[in-house]
Amino acid sequence: MTTPVPTDMSQRPALWETLAWLARLVLAGVFLVAAVPKLLDPNAFAAAIANFRVCPESMVNAIATVVPALELCGALALLTPWRRGGALLLGVLLIAFTALLASSLARGLDLDCGCFGGGAQADPVNALDLLRNAGLLALVVLVLVPKRVR
């Protein structure tokens, strides 16, 4: 004779799985939206990187093409069985972006974020960018938390 499992206990893993799936979907969407304009117009992204004044000018073009490719790889990996590797990659990128934004805010630089490519929709760096990155990092952690911990 088997004892019935309480309903709330049986539904909890399913709820977490749904949340993790939603987190993967949101992360993949955000980073795809961020990567595609940079890949299509690397000149604008290179100018945005150069404005931060944190890397040698000879490295700007390489960074302007490699970073969007990393974002694209991480976003696509989130939709595959390599989701944990993709989440790790996006987490590393998010930490680097957040440090860069915090550095520019601390130095009082008034420049375009370049987070979603350049052009007319570019926004100046502000504290909301840090808050957005913190939220995205929380989603990365949600993807990375193993099932047995949940």
Partner 1 sequence: MLTRQDLRELVILTALGAVVGLVHLGLRPELPVLAEPATACTLDDSPEPTEPEPVAPAASMEPALPMTPVSSPAGGAP
Tell me which residues touch partner 1 (CB under 8 A): 39, 42-43, 46-47, 49-51, 53, 57-58, 60-62, 64-74, 77, 82, 84-86, 88-89, 92, 107-112, 144-146, 149
Closer of 68 and 133 to partner 1 (Cβ)? 68
Q: In this structure, what are the phi and psi dihedrals at residue 104, rounded to the nearest 5 degrees? A: -70, -35
Q: Closest separation between CB of residue 5 and partner 1, Å?
A: 28
Q: Closest separation between CB of residue 4 and partner 1, Å?
A: 33
Closer of 11 and 88 to partner 1 (Cβ)? 88
Closer of 51 and 98 to partner 1 (Cβ)? 51
Q: Closest separation between CB of residue 134 and partner 1, Å?
A: 19
Q: Closest separation between CB of residue 3 and partner 1, Å?
A: 33
C-alpha to C-alpha distance for 80 and 17, rounded to whole angstroms: 15
Q: Which residues share a beta bridge with 124?
A: 112
Closer of 55 and 128 to partner 1 (Cβ)? 55
Q: Could you give the count of Cα atoms lying within 13 Å of 102 in the half-sphere of its Cβ? A: 11
Polymer length in residues for the chain: 150
Q: Could you give the count of Cα atoms lying within 13 Å of 79 in the half-sphere of its Cβ? A: 12
Torsion region of 56: left, alpha or beta (phi above 0 gives left; psi -120 to 50 gives alpha): beta
Q: Closest separation between CB of residue 24 and partner 1, Å?
A: 14
CB atoms within 10 A of CB 21: 12
Q: What is the SS3 assignment for 112?
A: strand
Closer of 11 and 126 to partner 1 (Cβ)? 126
